[in-house]
Structure 1
Amino acid sequence: MSAPASPADLYRHSLRLLLDKDIPAWVALWADDGLMEFPFAPDGWPRRLEGKEAIAAYMRHYPDHIDLYDFPDLRIHQTTDPETIVVEMRGVGRLIESDARFDMNYIAVVTARNGHITSYRDYWNPLGVQEPGAAFTGSSR
């Protein structure tokens, strides 16, 4: 049996799955008790998703809202905790409903244990989204 992927490798794989719009495989990367947080979420948007089922429900309609083309400028920083990384990146694509260009900068703090994402704090800027639900993990509110 191979060793679990490093947090950085797991994260890079998760981005590929998002570009491929393979939401079931992306959700499968999560621990059952995973926690996803959006500290800057505006009113009416979720701030905290607890558990793989809640994350799956939130992500289910993701491809209906945003068509991502690339994650340029990806920088993954190791921390003193080998299970935690800090990620800087851009997501570029288009918003499905309006066909407007999507270009968002992100900072995320991600923790992974035993090859699964256990915690993801997504510090995206809600002011950059003009279509509800079009954030990085954007599905319906």
Structure 2
Amino acid sequence: MLTHRSPADLYRHGLRLLLAADIDGWVALWDEDGVFEFPFAPPGAPARLEGRAAVAAYMRDYPAHIALHAFPRLEIHETRDPETIVVEMAARGRAVVEDEPFAMDYIAVVTVRDGRIVRYRDYWNPLNAPASLRP
């Protein structure tokens, strides 16, 4: 069982797991019924994942596509809802298949309840995604 962390602490911990390519550890931060949404999902890509199992299936091959090296910019904004944060960040690494630099900026709205992610809205730009991540 996770210890109760603030949403910001849990999010930072999740980034450390992603840098370590520990996808199972990252997925373990999710509530069994957590929802992962992609409001800017392109046609053919999922716009909504429901449940930890769906998140795990979606993220399973992430390290085969993206090798993350750093999050050089991370700003976490608290909201009036103590369970919800807004995150602005930049991710840097390599697109594995293309063997090219990976640079993506994100805005995310994340809700954590009882130490688990229950909702994650990921506002990433699919036009900047490496070809291997496009549907």
With the shorter chain as reference, the TM-score category is over 0.9
Distance (whole Å) between structure 2 residues aligned to residue 47 and residue 34 of structure 1: 14
Matches within 5 A, 1:1-141: 4-133=4-133
1:39 aligned counterpart, secondary structure: coil
Moved over 6 A (4+): none
What per-residue deviation string (whole Å, max 9, x for no partner) do you get for residues 40-59 of structure 1?
Answer: 01001110000000000000
Instruction: Give, as a single letter, the amino acid of the residue that structure 1 aligns with 2:106.
Output: Y
Instruction: Give, as a single letter, the amino acid of the residue that structure 1 aligns with 2:41.
Output: A
1:73 aligned counterpart, secondary structure: strand
Contact 2:97 2:132 in 1 (8 A): no
Q: Unpaired segments of 5 or more residues in structure 1?
A: 135-140
Distance (whole Å) between structure 1 residues aligned to residue 128 and residue 20 of structure 2: 23
Distance (whole Å) between structure 2 residues aligned to residue 3 and residue 27 of structure 1: 16
Instruction: Give, as a single letter, the amino acid of the residue that structure 2 aligns with 1:115.
Output: G
Q: Work out the number of aligned pairs and report it.
A: 135
Q: Give % identity.
A: 61
Displacement after TM superposition at 1:130 (Å): 3.0
Displacement after TM superposition at 1:100 (Å): 1.0
Distance (whole Å) between structure 1 residues aligned to residue 2 and residue 18 of structure 2: 24
Structure 2 residue aligned with 1:138: none
Displacement after TM superposition at 1:3 (Å): 5.6
What per-residue deviation string (whole Å, max 9, x for no partner) do you get for residues 48-78 of structure 1?
Answer: 0000000000000110000000011100000
Q: 1:32 to 1:94 in 2, by over 3 A?
A: same
2:55 aligned counterpart, secondary structure: helix
Higher strand share: 2
Q: Could you state the TM-score of these two structures normalised by the residue count of structure 2?
A: 0.96
Instruction: Give, as a single letter, the amino acid of the residue that structure 2 aligns with 1:88.
Output: E
Displacement after TM superposition at 1:2 (Å): 8.8
Distance (whole Å) between structure 1 residues aligned to residue 70 and residue 81 of structure 2: 28
Q: Could you state the TM-score of these two structures normalised by the residue count of structure 1?
A: 0.92
What is the CA RMSD across the aligned residues, in angstroms? Answer: 1.5
Displacement after TM superposition at 1:132 (Å): 3.2
1:18 aligned counterpart, secondary structure: helix
